[in-house]
């Protein structure tokens, strides 16, 4: 595995209030600390520099960029984690993929489970896999690639990456699931968490958060 060398840019805060923080995590930065002192630098630790009560709610893969929601204090951590567990957070991702899916919109419904001998990889398993569903919509296509809007209806590890590879359209730059041409087609994993929408635990009002796609 290559040496962990996260980007040094200051973490961008998209939204902050007394209950929560939303940051724009860059690709290459861990969401939470990894194993070993060399992997202590992460989105949570950087946010804690300005907001010491910051706690984890959910995670993005290190290679994925975009919106990461963090809680301020344990009570808000429980409240926000509950929203994710109940599916009360609407999520939208942007991905550049190999080829153009047909039909141009649809649902991928394939059960996923950890590929234990090859962790952290995940795999499709129709016998023991957990239900996993992803909606996709083609936004544009050019040459051998296309841009998709993705809505995960479940929150399995690597769900979007495995689902798209399974239908023959791996995400560009994906070191785990893309074939060599798709992996070489981009300098990073072309997956970005572009939008989150949920009811704020304190105000009860809908909070819509967005992050522009950087690729």
Q: Of 24, 41, 61, 208, which residue is the catalytic one?
A: 61
Q: Is 24 among the residues known to form the active site?
A: no
How many residues are listed for the chain in this entry? 215
What CA–CA distance (Å, rounded) separates 64 from 95?
Answer: 10
As a whole number of angstroms, the distance between CA 103 and CA 155 comes to: 24
DSSP letters, 131-151, are: P-EEEEEEEEEETTEEEEEEE
The backbone torsions φ and ψ at residue 129, rounded to the nearest 5 degrees and listed phi first, read -70, 155
Residue 129 CB-half CA count within 13 A:
21
By 3-state DSSP, what share of the chain in percent is helix, strand and coil, each rounded to 5? 15, 35, 45
Classify 192 in phi/psi space as left (phi over 0), alpha (psi -120 to 50) or beta. beta
Active site residues: 61
């Amino acid at each position: 595995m290559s040496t962990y060398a996260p980007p040094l840019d200051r973490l961008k805060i998209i939204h902050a209030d007394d209950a929560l923080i939303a940051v724009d995590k860059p690709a290459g930065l861990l969401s939470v600390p990894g194993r070993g002192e060399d992997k202590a630098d992460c989105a949570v630790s950087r946010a804690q520099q300005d907001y010491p009560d910051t706690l984890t709610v959910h995670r993005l893969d290190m290679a994925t960029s975009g919106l990461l929601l963090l809680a301020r204090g344990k009570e808000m951590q429980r409240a926000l984690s509950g929203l994710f567990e109940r599916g009360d957070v609407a999520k939208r991702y942007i991905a550049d993929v190999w080829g153009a899916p047909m039909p141009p919109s649809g649902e991928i419904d394939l059960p996923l489970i950890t590929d234990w001998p090859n962790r952290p990889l995940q795999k499709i398993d129709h016998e023991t896999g957990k239900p996993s569903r992803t909606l996709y919509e083609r936004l544009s296509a050019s040459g051998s690639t296309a841009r998709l809007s993705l809505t995960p209806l479940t929150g399995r590890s690597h769900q979007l990456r495995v689902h798209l590879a399974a239908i023959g359209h791996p995400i560009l730059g994906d070191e785990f699931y893309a074939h060599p041409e798709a992996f070489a087609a981009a300098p990073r994993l072309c997956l970005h968490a572009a939008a989150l929408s949920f009811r704020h635990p304190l105000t009860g009002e809908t909070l819509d958060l967005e992050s522009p796609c950087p690729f």
